[in-house]
Chain A
């Protein structure tokens, strides 16, 4: 309950700052936090990436296994996305079965990858109806500083982009780079009493009324959206947030030179 008390004070402070177009960490309402990425950090994985997005720290590992395909898609590989909100990342994370928050996080990231068709799963077929590659994306949240969705998706996409399919190990020829085609980026915004903030940090997320995550591709088309928290969003809020996501997404792409290899 003391959290609520802190939130009320924080909420007022955050809203007051907003009226001067400022935020607690000095950003403007339309500014992203500094983002640093590093791939290849876990050599036991087929691909990996560590993302430090503001104070949020997420480590994503990609493992490729072989297995049988789903019966309705006998000639396509399988993508599985999972998230671990491990207790060390936050005083609010407990060990145990996956909470709804972690399930939602994993599914929204998965949606971004899948709907953007980042991996052409048709290229991940070994033998139709019998054997396909299974691509596992596991996101490990090491430090929860607000806004997991964006950091998670970025880590996942970078890990996938740098992943190698260990075909040799399974006896299917030479190892090859995981074929990646498009590149989704998600940008999350929150609504506070006085307006909208992009890329919320932990405090901002906790006092926010509503949250909207928008995943776009390199053309700015929308591939996935997820509204969160219990508040309401007007039509205009949604329009504004989508536009912000398109703009910040493009900015981030340029900054990190994504898809430029």
Chain B
């Protein structure tokens, strides 16, 4: 990295905020929508700062070519791609080496989270398209893909949030934007399991002392908790009409002996998809 760009100050003179007004540990505005595509089994759309990233999941489904399949578990194939119009200068379409590397590490992250042992000989295909890039695209892609996986009904241990902190003009800050990434001194993208705080993706490039690195990782950990809430909210919003908060007992309690209960195909009576009192979202 290195400041070959303009010399504008990225850290304000007050020593507490960045040039875009954020505090050092503040995230950029982030919004997520779940279930935005019709054909995909699961999908999500993320707007994060000026990032616009779309994620879609197909699967589990048959593996092609056949020799790629693993007879003991599903394989997770993530494909990260930047659209030609997503960066300042037109990028030639198709995977470049950077996309290949990012796809690889995201596949690895999800392979750990998804219960792959439940679907032998299948693949879970995760597609992430960066439509507009503003640094942290792999984090935005991963974050969106997590939501898409849940939307597709794929069993997972947890949702997986992702963020990149770094260092700018000597200060460790959370969630780099494009200028900060380009002109800054370090970039630490990661993906952290919310419940346990474990890293499923971790990279770093730049120049950090041990303490600075620990600080960046701590920012990441905190930020991931917040991002996780946004992920959950997105899913709740889509599926919320099924939330059954006010399920005053419309149905009787399930009595074991009753013939009509036994006849009912599929599920015990109280677990059918009966809605809440309010229709609300």
Known: A1-B71, A235-B221. A228 touches B4 (CB 8 A): no
Question: Is A206 on the interface with B (CB-CB < 8 A)?
Answer: no
User: Which of the listed residues A1, A220, A226, A230 has the most CB atoms from chain B within 10 Å of its own CB?
Assistant: A230
Distance from B55 Cβ to chain A, minimum over Cβ atoms (Å): 19
Q: State the majority secondary structure of interface residues on B.
A: mixed
Question: A55 an interface residue at 8 Å Cβ cutoff?
Answer: no
Chain A residues with a Cβ under 8 A of chain B: 1, 4, 72-73, 76, 98, 100-101, 103-104, 106-107, 111, 114-116, 212, 217, 220-235, 238-239, 242-243, 246
> How many A-B contacts at CB < 8 Å in the complex?
101
Question: Shortest distance in angstroms between A221's beta carbon and chain B's nearest beta carbon?
Answer: 5
Residues of A within 8 A of B206 (CB): 115, 223-224
Chain A interface, DSSP helix/strand/loop, else mixed: mixed
Interface residues of B in 161-192 (CB under 8 A from A): 188
Check A115–B104 contact: CB distance below 8 A.
Answer: no
A222, B209: Cβ atoms under 8 Å?
yes
A222 vs B203: C-alpha distance when bound (angstroms): 11
CA distance A227 to B162 in the complex (A): 14
B30 at the interface (CB under 8 A from A): no
Residues of chain A with a CB closer than 8 A to B200's CB: 227, 232
Contact for A222 among B72, B103, B197, B204, CB less than 8 A: B204
B230 interface residue, CB < 8 Å from A? no
Note all chain B residues with C-beta closer than 8 A to A98.
97, 100
Whether A103 contacts B97 by the Cβ 8 Å rule is yes
Q: Note all chain B residues with C-beta closer than 8 A to A226.
A: 105, 202-204
Residue among B101, B209, B221 making CB contact with A221, cutoff 8 Å = B209
B205 touches A224 (CB 8 A): yes
Answer whether residue B16 sits at the interface, using C-beta atoms and an 8 A cutoff.
Answer: no
With A and B bound together, what is the CA distance between A97 and B108 in angstroms?
Answer: 21
* Interface-side segment among B142-150, B210-218, B234-242: B210-218
Do B217 and A221 touch across chains, with their CB atoms under 8 A apart?
A: no
